[in-house]
Amino acid sequence: MLRSMYSGISGMKNFQSKLDVLGNNIANVNTYGFKKGRTTFKDLVSQQISGASAPNANRGGVNPKQVGLGSQLSTIDTIHTQGSLQTTGRPLDLSISGDGYFIVSDGTNEFYTRAGNFYLDEQGTLVNSDGLKLQDSNRANITIPTDAESFSIGSDGSVTYIQNGTLNANPQQIAISKFANNGGLEKAGSNLYQQTTNSGASTITTPGQNGSGEIVAGTLEMSNVDLSEEFTEMIVAQRGFQANTRIITTSDEILQELVNLKR
């Protein structure tokens, strides 16, 4: 009975973690470039009641007898599937159609993002909403002269502009970073990811080459959260939580009957 109570407690804790992840997914349903999370569970150690025995000439084998002691959190995965592209018509809104991440830097640290809503600062440098600077294939800041008459960004990441009626001869190229294991990236907040020991090192590529995605100007990548899926998972988590509370209340009622045996 006590084992069942503690099993129920472990299940309640796990489903609470699942609800926390679902709540974060739903809160970011309209966050550009957001990648949803997924929670998985695994069982805890099982108590051995009796071991298995091998068959012999006179008697068959016997299977082991074990009592499980509950469940535990296995993984909280980040699902890096492609989100749908929303057309904005704004030339500095960029999305990646395929694999890869934009590289932004604060001058010391590199971060990676799928959110492509970029802006021009006073010096004509391309920055994100927090002022982190977009990097090119040489890890240099991308700039557009403030007196440029017009500019465009191609699918290969090339930034071209017309200055004094002349097209720039050597356009900078927006870099795309790829990783051996996207799931190993660590969320750093503000739509940013950081490299970890399990993500592999950042590989700089040209958009559209070496398996990386192409850049689509004038669009933004939406979150890959599916509300219908999230609400369904929320119902499953709620019922699982309720079922585990029933385990605890049932065990409590049985303990109460045992206590009442002594009048």
CB 93 within 8 A of CB 87: no
Checking if the pLDDT of 21 tops 80, the result is: yes
Burial 3-24 (b: 16+ CB within 10 A, else e): ebbebbebbbbbbeebbebbee
Query: Please, what sign has the CA dihedral across residues 214, 218, 223, 226?
Result: negative
- Average the pLDDT over 173-197 and give the result: 94
Calculate what percentage of the chain has a pLDDT beyond 90: 73
CB 198 within 8 A of CB 161: no
Token readout for 106 is 């604060």
Identity of the amino acid at 170: N
Checking if the pLDDT of 12 tops 90, the result is: yes
- The dihedral region occupied by 33, where left means phi > 0, alpha psi between -120 and 50, and beta the remainder, is left
Mean pLDDT of the chain: 92
Checking if the pLDDT of 210 tops 90, the result is: no
Indicate the pLDDT class of residue 237, thresholds 50, 70 and 90.
Answer: very high
0.85 surpassed by pTM: yes
pLDDT given at position 259: 86
pLDDT given at position 1: 61
Q: How far is CA 10 from CA 16, 74, 97, 167, in A?
A: 10, 13, 41, 65
Checking if the pLDDT of 139 tops 80, the result is: yes
- Average the pLDDT over 200-207 and give the result: 92
pLDDT given at position 40: 95
Checking if the pLDDT of 6 tops 70, the result is: yes
CA atoms within 13 A on the CB side of 14: 24
Number of residues that make up the chain = 263
What does the pLDDT look like over 107-118, one tens digit per residue? 889 999 999 999
Checking if the pLDDT of 263 tops 80, the result is: no
CB 132 within 8 A of CB 139: no
CA distance 217 to 114: 13
Please name the helix (run of DSSP H) or strand (run of DSSP E) that holds residue 176, with its range, or none: strand 176-178
CA distance 161 to 153: 9
Indicate the pLDDT class of residue 252, thresholds 50, 70 and 90.
Answer: confident
What does the pLDDT look like over 33-84, one tens digit per residue? 999 999 999 998 888 899 898 998 888 999 999 898 889 999 999 999 999 9
95 versus 169: which is more confidently predicted?
Answer: 95
